[in-house]
Structure 1
Amino acid sequence: MAANLSQAPEKSIAGMVWITGGDFTMGTNDQNSYPSERPAVIKRVNDFWMDETEVTNKQFAEFVEKTGYITVAEKIPDWEEMKQTLPPGTPKPDASLMVPGSLVFVGPEKAVRLDDISQWWQWVLGANWKHPEGLGSDLNGRENHPVVHIAFEDAQAFAVWSGKRLPTEEEWEYAAKGGKNTRFPWGNELTPQGQFKANTFQGDFPHENVKLDGFQGTAPVRSFAPNNFGLYDMIGNVWELTSNWYDAIAFMRANNIAPALDTAISKCFNPENPYAIEKVIKGGSFLCADDYCINYRPSARRGQDVYSGTSNVGFRCVMDAE
């Protein structure tokens, strides 16, 4: 990474870290990764401010209290939005199924096939940011956990209210790497000297989490040491939304080994979901496991449906230097 020569401002902003921009290697050439993050490309970001932590339940509650905002998961699903992400001709679901809710990770009782995510993801009636596991669950004791079940428009609304914005994918990855170009922000080993550096999944995914890092689901922010830039939980805990549209072969296009994306046809490209309308999420979550996914790395990336949230996706905000 090559930092620029700009100076950090004399002022400080509570809860935010100043990031001096520069050139960096985005993505990876490591074959122990996923095709969507290869091959690496050189990118540049300008100076910016970034939240120290993921937005917490306490912070989001203050936003809701002062604005009366209602999240997507608390509303009856909008069929006009839903059908945009489905094959043409898909029939409208019965009204009894069009109820407020969200996707929740529910660990099965025994080992299951890892090619069928319906074995551990369930649409739960009443699940939203205030009720993470559905009706009957609440935020008691989780005030400092990252807010979840947040759709893209919810995160945007919070960012605008707070005078900030969502980070670009480039800004997010640059910040996560913390000035290093190692596999993880702290080095090349996931657990150096047996020390856990992030909230991930240990055990047999998805049915047996042995919680060696101390957490079954989300963890309070700042539970692990910050990276070199002073940012917490850039890896694990919850995936974080960015402002970029998801293109599964963006780096191939950037390296001129795939044609440019025709944005007049679609802003996104996901070969696993040709009707996807997705934003890039980064950082992995408490569900990343050695035997299932290795997305607990700064270069890892995937798409998230803009119209919905899940129990393992949150966000943090940034501000421009000026």
Structure 2
Amino acid sequence: MTMIDIQFIGLLNATLQAATLLFIAALGELITEKSGILNLGVEGMISIGAVTGFMTAVNTGNLFFSIFIGIFSAALFASLHAFVTVILKQDQTVSGLILTILGLSLSALMGKNYIGKKLPVKINSLREIENPSTLVDVILSQSYIFFLAILLMIATAYLLKKTMFGRRLEAVGEDSRAADSMGLNVNKTQFIATCVGGGFAGLAGVYLTLSYVPYWTDNMTSGRGWIALALVIFGGWKPYRTALGALLFGFLEALVPRLQTYGFEISPYIVKITPYVITILVLIMLTIYKGGRTGAPSNIGVPFFRENR
């Protein structure tokens, strides 16, 4: 293999690893937003899933239990957002921002004694290939979570388009009052969707600390929750397009350190804002070519009051 081939294979491998985390978190947020609930607390939920999964792995050495705890903890944390916004009908933006701050702070507090500790177990690759040399090798060397993400993408796309629950979810997100008049339980649907989205964020967090970067330190989410939010918009609230966006943003995350090794000085701040700039450009293009129809649920961010029927 030439040096260029080696660099390309390494870049592809890093792209898939970065995209996996972003996509799982974005897919969960997509489900939540389809119900009409905006959750800006994804960053905090990823962090909660990451720290609880890591702590459980260190203390028990049980991989599957650690994954479960990470997912469950983030889903439970998301239920706070569901309670505040769905039951109490409070502002979704404020609640989400508070949960991000709370999640980052709480995870830092919980994980302060785990910084630098080694994992007794971690999520393995499908095949342990030390030096992948082909595209097939790169794919087979990915974590099991990568393949789970593909299954989740297919399952979510099917769920949203082909199942009764998906139709109910879309009906609630598009017009909650009309959905209520048809006998659908709007509050229940939104509550479940919010918790499911939190569980996905928890899985992304578990992948972060038990596979992608197998250690714990403060603020290691590094804004990935915000990128996941941008991904949902970029993908037009569609699972497959969101996956393509995750590959693009994952590529950007993987590219910069490799460019720097060749002497290209690129500010990390420019890299961090690039996904948001791309998302804004996509929104501008949609406004021009589709009359502003971005694909967002019509009732997103709007609390449902049954007495308004």
**Larger RCO, structures 1/2 (Cα 8 Å, 6+ apart):** 2
- More helix per residue: 2
Structure having the higher strand fraction is: 1
* TM-score > 0.5 by shorter chain: no
